[in-house]
Amino acid sequence: MAEDLQIIQGDKAAQYQSLIPQIKGLLEGEPDLVANLANVAAALKEQFGWFWVGFYLVKGEELVLGPFQGPVACTRIRKGRGVCGTSWAQAATLIVPDVEAFPGHIACSSLSRSEIVVPLMKAGEVAGVLDVDSDQLSGFDETDRQFLEEIVALIMI
């Protein structure tokens, strides 16, 4: 596996295209879920510098905080609550351009302005979510959806 991540400049698609093979390298041959989630969160944070990048894992009736990069965050989110719990309930990626306009948004930090949440699927069920927060409004678009969905599909959960 790579020792150091190669960080590139360029448009967002080019950044993802550089990052994805490196993420494949990090995941290759490593079966431990926590190790893999931790490295994916770190790789995304290093390349894109987002405010917060991390995972929540389904445990019973709640999402529980998993590996992440960024400020401390809420530890438990119930199904259907906030952006993460709504993504879980709908089994769908959610792009929120302005978190203050999302009913029920859970503000782990007042600095978070926009957010994308991508479900991690296992055998047709949501097993967790990837949550990415930006301190800018409208930080995420369809390019992020496409590539982040591709990245979470690489993780054997």
Contacting positions for ligand SME (CB under 6 A): 52, 73-74, 77, 82-85, 105-106, 108, 112, 115, 131, 133
Torsion angle defined by CA atoms of residues 13, 14, 16 and 21, in that order, rounded to the nearest 10 degrees:
140
Nearer to ligand SME, 73 or 121 (CB): 73
Q: Can you name the residues that pair with 76 across neighbouring β-strands?
A: 64
**Which lies closer to ligand SME via its Cβ, residue 7 or residue 73?**
73
Three-class SS of residue 53?
strand
Minimum CB separation from ligand SME for residue 40, in Å? 15
- The partner residues of 65 in beta bridges, in order of sequence, read 56
52 versus 147: smaller Cβ distance to ligand SME:
52
The CA dihedral of 37, 9, 112, 118, to the nearest 10 degrees, is: -40
Q: Which residue has the closest beta carbon to ligand SME?
A: 82
Least distance to ligand SME, CB of residue 91, Å:
15
